[in-house]
């Protein structure tokens, strides 16, 4: 059916040299001394035959694939594409490829993909999928396999490589902003508590409130089953329908915030007049929604780039200054937040 590939042997034959010589020529390392004449002969033959080296055989021999595996929970979440782009650009610049795997937020798929990637002998892993249940991660750690945690904390104080947003500061600035506007009944649309991101953002939102002498009201906390618009919508609906709604709600990410916006509209809460909404991440086009989203900006592309740089540094045995990179999370105020219509009493 298909033509037999032209191999290094074919080229060698055509150039009347030994295969190993061909190898030396095409890999063209400076320190090797080659007669310019043979060099040319080999190159000519290679071109003529349309020789294309087999990365497969090469990797087998070298025991390196120059490939990074990347685990993403949901590629349709606009938060991730810039991250992927950042990672891929950096990897590409350093001669690495990236194999992307969409885990669909399923720990089962996550495990499957992890196995596949390792069978494919990827040199390292970028893990942005977010399950806390990480027997898998523990394995990697135990086997000392190079990996970077992206946008998720490591389960223990472990000194895993990691690139994370500063959730604490981000949530604090969101809460501070709302309080400064005069809000006192602040709700939280938390992310799934099976993820470290979900846990952290909820915990930090609460502690920020406490730091401002505001007692988090459990009745105003709702937990979304996922990080999507749809799950966010359902969570927010539960919150809005149960009794007295909050005057503001802080969401674990922008999609949940978008879901909250939809739920608010459905029950007749106007944003921001009746309800202020804050998201997290500042996904692309967040400012173009109706209303434009106040959110905590996280530098997505940078995160991807730094994660890739980190594993590669580890792979190449370079010096690593910080094993754990914390990127800035800064509030971006847009039209989805405003002072509450009926001013609340200032309470101690």
Q: How far apart are CA 248 and CA 74, in angstroms?
A: 27
Binds 195: which of a second copy, DNA, none (CB < 5-8 Å by kind): none
Q: State which residue, 28 or 284, has the beta carbon closest to DNA.
A: 28
Q: Does 5 bind DNA (CB under 7 A)?
A: yes
> Residue 338: helix, strand or coil by DSSP?
coil
Give backbone dihedrals phi and psi of 330, rounded to 5 degrees, phi first: -120, 140
- From the list 59-67, 175-183, 194-202, 324-332, the region that binds a second copy by CB under 8 A is 59-67
Among 56, 157, 213, 215, binds a second copy (CB under 8 A): 56
Beta strands in 157-197 (DSSP E): 161-165, 186-190
CA distances from 346 to 64, 66, 213 (A): 63, 59, 11
Structure tokens at 125: 């892993």
- From the list 28-36, 38-46, 193-201, 281-289, the region that binds a second copy by CB under 8 A is 281-289
Pairing of strands 294-297, 330-332: antiparallel
Q: How far apart are CA 275 and CA 253, in angstroms?
A: 17
> Residue 140: helix, strand or coil by DSSP?
helix
Sites for a second copy among residues 221-250 (CB under 8 A): 229
> Least CB distance from residue 55 to DNA, whole Å?
8
Cα 138 vs. chain centroid, distance in angstroms? Answer: 20
Q: State which residue, 88 or 123, has the beta carbon closest to DNA.
A: 123
| Cα Rg of the chain, angstroms | 26
Q: Does 23 bind a second copy (CB under 8 A)?
A: no
Sites for DNA among residues 22-81 (CB under 7 A): 23-24, 26-27, 32-35, 37-39, 51-54, 56-58, 60-63
Q: Does 138 bind a second copy (CB under 8 A)?
A: no
Q: What is the DSSP letter of 287?
A: G
Decide: residue 20, CB within 10 A, 0-12 exposed, 13-18 middle, 19+ buried. Answer: exposed
Q: State which residue, 93 or 242, has the beta carbon closest to a second copy.
A: 93
Binds 338: which of a second copy, DNA, none (CB < 5-8 Å by kind): none
- From the list 71-79, 203-211, 238-246, 323-331, the region that binds a second copy by CB under 8 A is 71-79
Q: How far apart are CA 98 and CA 67, in angstroms?
A: 6
Q: How far apart are CA 174 and CA 298, in angstroms?
A: 13
DSSP 148-190: EEESS--SSS---EEEEE-HHHHHHHHHHHHHHHT--SEEEEE
Among 24, 25, 88, 281, binds a second copy (CB under 8 A): 88
Among 6, 38, 59, 106, binds a second copy (CB under 8 A): 59
Q: State which residue, 54 or 112, has the beta carbon closest to DNA.
A: 54
Which chain residues interact with a second copy by CB under 8 A?
Answer: 2-3, 52-57, 59-60, 65, 75-76, 78, 81-82, 84-85, 88-89, 97-102, 115-116, 118-121, 143-144, 229, 258, 261, 284-285, 288-292
Which chain residues interact with DNA by CB under 7 A?
Answer: 4-5, 7-9, 16-21, 23-24, 26-27, 32-35, 37-39, 51-54, 56-58, 60-63
């Amino acid at each position: 059916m298909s033509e037999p590939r032209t191999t290094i042997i074919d080229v060698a034959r055509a150039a009347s040299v030994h295969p190993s010589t061909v190898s030396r020529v095409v890999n063209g390392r400076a320190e090797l001394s080659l007669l310019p004449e043979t060099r040319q002969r080999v190159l000519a033959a290679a071109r003529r035959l349309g020789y294309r080296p087999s990365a497969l055989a090469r990797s087998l021999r070298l025991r390196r694939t120059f490939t990074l595996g990347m685990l993403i929970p949901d590629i349709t979440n606009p938060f991730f594409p810039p991250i992927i782009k950042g990672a891929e650009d950096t990897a590409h610049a350093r001669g690495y490829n990236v194999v992307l795997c969409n885990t669909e937020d399923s720990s089962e798929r996550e495990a499957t993909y992890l196995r596949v990637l390792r069978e494919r002998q990827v040199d390292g892993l970028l893990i942005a999928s977010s399950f806390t249940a990480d027997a898998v991660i523990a394995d990697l750690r135990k086997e000392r396999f190079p990996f970077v945690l992206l946008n998720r904390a490591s389960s223990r104080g472990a000194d895993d490589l990691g690139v994370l947003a500063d959730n604490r500061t981000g949530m604090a600035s969101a809460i501070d902003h709302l309080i400064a506007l005069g809000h006192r009944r602040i709700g939280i649309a938390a992310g799934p508590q099976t993820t470290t991101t979900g846990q952290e953002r909820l915990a930090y939102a609460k502690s920020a409130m406490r730091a401002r002498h505001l007692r988090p009201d459990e009745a105003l906390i709702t937990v979304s089953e996922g990080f999507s618009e749809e799950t966010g919508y359902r969570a927010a609906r539960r919150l809005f329908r149960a009794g007295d709604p909050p005057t503001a709600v802080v969401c674990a990410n922008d999609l949940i915030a978008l879901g909250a916006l939809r739920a608010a509209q459905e029950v007749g809460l106007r944003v921001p007049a009746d309800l202020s909404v804050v998201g997290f991440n500042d996904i692309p086009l967040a400012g173009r929604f109706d209303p434009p989203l106040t959110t905590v900006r996280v530098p997505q592309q940078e995160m991807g780039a730094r994660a890739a740089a980190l594993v590669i540094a580890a792979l190449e045995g370079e010096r690593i200054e910080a094993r754990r990179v914390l990127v800035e999370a800064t509030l971006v105020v847009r039209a989805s937040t405003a002072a509450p219509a009926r001013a609340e009493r200032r309470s101690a």
